[in-house]
Structure 1
């Protein structure tokens, strides 16, 4: 994809819709940042063209072969236009950070200077090769024994092959250098090309050298970034620029399924923009002792003070001792969650008379931070617990097949529910960092309403998701879980679309968090 290609914004589809996706992997396979559509056991699905949403970003996934092919194509073009060796064309392109147009323009104006600046100065010898030269003595190791193999690039500075190999081993293995390996002679700026290196080193070092060259290709291009997932070798191309990161959160998804922000490389943090995420994470780190206390796995029952351990993602807690039902996040009565009294996501500001002196203001500031951090950390913890529960639920799914007579495909609704819980909790987690820095205006109340609706739906789904196998075998519960999964995904889309639209329009007003 050329650097001047228009990168617009794509959309997230309804969980029950199929449509064409602007985001593709390099082999042409559709791949967007939309959540993978769950298989709910339907045989027919309505084909509906999806509506564009502000919070989706257009991107493209490249595999290692695609990245190599891009480099080879550029090298072939420069080789053909300038009529120079492919190895030299590669060195020139790396010098110009793979900007083919600027390379050709500058080369046509002043070829000698361009070659010298790139490390391809005048040649004093023929093509590089291993040679045995009578009377040669290596200036590095001072060896001059007969039959000693030596090597020199076109600059003519000759050293024995063993010293050259040690030099290259240090540069590649220890220093991680590849694109700008210069002649060992002090002051010589001649760059070693790939063909010369192949004459000297083992295949293992050759492979490492080419891996490093490929890394420089991706790192040199502003629109390309490596997928940060462990052991993933794919790269993502995205046209979002740094100057746009205050009005868009460019979440992309690699073919390895890892979702991350193209702007900062962190895991998906929609709806919070990168600068806000950076500030929030720094604040959490600075208040680490408080954060550690808040994120502890145990709390006391608000009625009988018995110690209770959270062992699932659902926030509906029932004390085993006194049977009191309460919310893990706000410790309030669970009976009020799901009614108009639900206010768990909002922080109630104190009036001015309650915060007159500096100490009181400091206490209010801490309470406010703890309100948002507690909910942020809770959704992070719940997402991990939901994931642990689903690992165990895979065994349940096998039992469910036997108990209900459903096929393996038909029990995949639990997989869809688990995925929805993970994704929605990730979004909810970051809504609390987002809310911490929001100024309280009319838009804030609308945001909190959307946040509340999503949170209530997620808690309801989480509670259903943890039911035992004999209850999951009930066809009525299956339909309820499928419906709630769809509803959670829709509420997430509504929340993200609203926050993204207002972010793009500069409508949000921010505070310093106090």
Structure 2
């Protein structure tokens, strides 16, 4: 990020409790020593996972992702996903958002954490046990490392300033495999529907928007027609708004009806839930 970049005013920022100091010297050193950081934090994370949650506490798993446009690393798509587990009798809290601007992935992680904490406080949560796979974010917050990036400095400062609003906030490192659910939310938010080989920057043509799109954003329907996720989302949302359910493939003269299951890969949570309700109502009319 360029130094002159500033935090956009329209971001809904979660102001969270300042990270508490590690309970003993050994734990504090573990977040700063490369040889011990992962092992120690995995053990502590497992201990956090054993904690019983009440109605005022959550385990927060968050992830931010960014996809730069081919040939121009200053433009692209960024999104966030957050999953908060609660006590057994409380529903899971989820946050999914496509950002209105492109940011580096390190910034997207910060924004995922802040938006998650905002949602937690709106649900009257007092204790948050957060989990990240970003060693960079973890060390910058828990060890208060020096930052040269003005934007990250501003984001961290906002976290620290509002930290007093929570009784407890703990941030721990976990393997990336523990963040698959928030990762999927973030991917769907920006239109990523597949995971091609690392470094694959291939493009495919979308016959709706007449543009070449990254292969990981292309969807092949069961009727074999292929479109980009953004166009499919627009197509389905439009049909839902006009109550035209079930929904046909957008290819001209194609008579295939798109299944609800197919839409899960590219529809955000809110749209997918609307589709399920519309399909149920439509099915009820034919019973």
Work out whether the TM-score is over 0.5: no
User: TM-score scaled to structure 1, two decimals?
Assistant: 0.18
Decide which structure has greater strand share: 2
User: TM-score scaled to structure 2, two decimals?
Assistant: 0.27
